[in-house]
């Protein structure tokens, strides 16, 4: 059992499993949007399958990201201790991990409905393809945002079997929110990216302009959050959750400055993780109250 725990801990660290908190709450939100708004009824089976799809898809994406970037990670002092460059996990094991999770993702999607099965390879291509984008475009931040934005709409169609506008608005919230905070996160590697000929907004524009672009993206996020509340005609709980989410968005821009990025990890992981969870809790609570 001790060896099993060590192995699990190693792979949890490999894919930074704790960062699942960014997209997973929005997937659950998408699920409850369909259940409460469309009257399909609660299904524990579908909810569990949605959660499994999220975990398998993210494991595959993050594992492939680590596999594809292993050579760069070994040259970057910040990432040299990661499992692959440090030799804690072999490249073969990493590739097997990615393959197994990809297959399990497609199988899980197939157990939901036909549309999710058909779309699963497309989603997989997007989330795996992201790992290569930093080699040729500064739009890599937006592609990461697109990857995570699949969570609410994917969960919605798992229940409803079709697309709709409201979950797409939530997907737009995720896209702009994630793109904005990924720019903040990449401030740590701006110098390395320039030296390694990798593309990121901070490495191309400099830190001050990168923070301005991130701020504009999060301003758009705020506008989308407000629009979602108006469009959904939601009550106090939604607006309370939105207020908390917006305050935390602003907070990360207060604590990270172009000449002081010492609090990037607090802004990136802690602040955004809390924001995602609390916003989802308030949104779901509001949906459940409204559906009574």
CATH domain 2-14+25-291 topology? Tetracycline Repressor; domain 2 (1.10.357)
**184-208 confidence digits (pLDDT tens):** 999 999 999 999 999 999 999 999 9
Q: Which helix (H) or strand (E) holds 195?
A: helix 190-195
How much is the average pLDDT of 143-158?
A: 96
Each residue's pLDDT tens digit, 41-79: 889 999 999 999 999 999 999 999 999 999 999 999 999
What's the rounded Cα separation, in Å, for the pair 57 and 18?
14
Could you identify the residue written with the tokens 């989802």?
Answer: 280
Local structure of residue 89 (DSSP, 8 states): S
Cβ atoms of 106 and 151 within 8 Å: the answer is no
This prediction's pTM: 0.94
**What's the burial of 109, exposed, middle or buried (CB within 10 Å: 0-12/13-18/19+)?**
buried
According to the model, what pLDDT value does residue 2 have?
A: 72
Instruction: State mean pLDDT over 250-279.
Output: 94
pLDDT of residue 1: 60
The per-residue pLDDT for 284 is: 96
At 11-31, the pLDDT tens digits run 778 777 777 888 999 999 999
List the beta bridge partners of residue 214: none
User: Looking at the predicted structure, is the pLDDT value of residue 154 above 90?
Assistant: yes
Q: What is the 3-state secondary structure (H, E, C) of 103-144?
A: HHHHHHHHCCCHHHHHHHHHHHHHHHHHHHHCCCCCCHHHHH
**Token couple for 65:** 């990201």
pLDDT at 33 over 70: yes
Q: How far apart are CA 269 and CA 276, in angstroms?
A: 11
Percent residues over pLDDT 70 in the chain? 98
Q: What are the extents of the domains in the chain?
A: 2-14+25-291
Banded model confidence at residue 39, pLDDT cuts 50, 70, 90: low
Residue 3: count other Cβ atoms within 10 Å of its Cβ.
7
* Distance (Å, whole) CA 252 – CA 267: 5
Residue 91 dihedral angles phi and psi, to the nearest 5°: -60, -40
Contacts of 68 (CB under 8 A, 6+ apart): 131, 132
Count Cβ neighbours within 10 Å for each residue of 136-172 and write b for 16 or more, e otherwise: eebebbbbbbbbbbbbbbbbbbbbbeeeeebbebbbb
């Amino acid at each position: 059992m001790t060896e099993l725990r060590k192995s699990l801990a190693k792979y949890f660290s490999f894919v930074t499993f704790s960062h699942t908190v960014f997209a997973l709450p929005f997937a659950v939100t998408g699920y409850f949007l369909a259940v409460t708004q469309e009257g399909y009824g609660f299904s524990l089976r579908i909810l569990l399958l949605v959660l499994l799809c999220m975990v398998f898809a993210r494991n595959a994406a993050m594992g492939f990201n680590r596999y594809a970037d292993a050579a760069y990670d070994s040259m970057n002092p910040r990432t040299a201790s990661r499992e692959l460059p440090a030799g804690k996990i072999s490249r073969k094991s990493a590739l097997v991990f990615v393959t197994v999770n990809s297959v399990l993702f497609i199988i899980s999607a197939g157990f939901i409905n036909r549309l999710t099965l058909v779309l699963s390879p497309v989603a997989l291509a997007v989330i795996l393809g992201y790992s290569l984008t930093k080699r040729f475009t500064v739009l890599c931040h937006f592609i990461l945002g697109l990857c995570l934005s699949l969570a609410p709409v994917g969960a919605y169609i798992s229940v409803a079997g079709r697309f709709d506008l409201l979950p797409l608005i939530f997907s737009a919230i995720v896209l702009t929110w994630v793109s904005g905070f990924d720019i903040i996160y990449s401030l740590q590697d701006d110098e390395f990216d320039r030296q390694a000929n990798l593309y990121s907004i901070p490495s191309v524009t400099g830190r001050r302009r990168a923070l301005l672009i991130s701020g504009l993206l999060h301003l758009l996020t705020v506008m989308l959050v407000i629009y979602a509340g108006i469009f959904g005609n939601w009550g106090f709980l939604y607006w309370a959750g939105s207020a908390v989410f917006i305050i935390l968005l602003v907070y990360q821009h207060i604590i990270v400055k172009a000449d002081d990025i010492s609090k990037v990890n607090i802004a990136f992981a802690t602040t955004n993780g809390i924001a995602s969870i609390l916003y989802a809790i308030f949104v779901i609570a509001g949906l459940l109250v409204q559906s009574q």
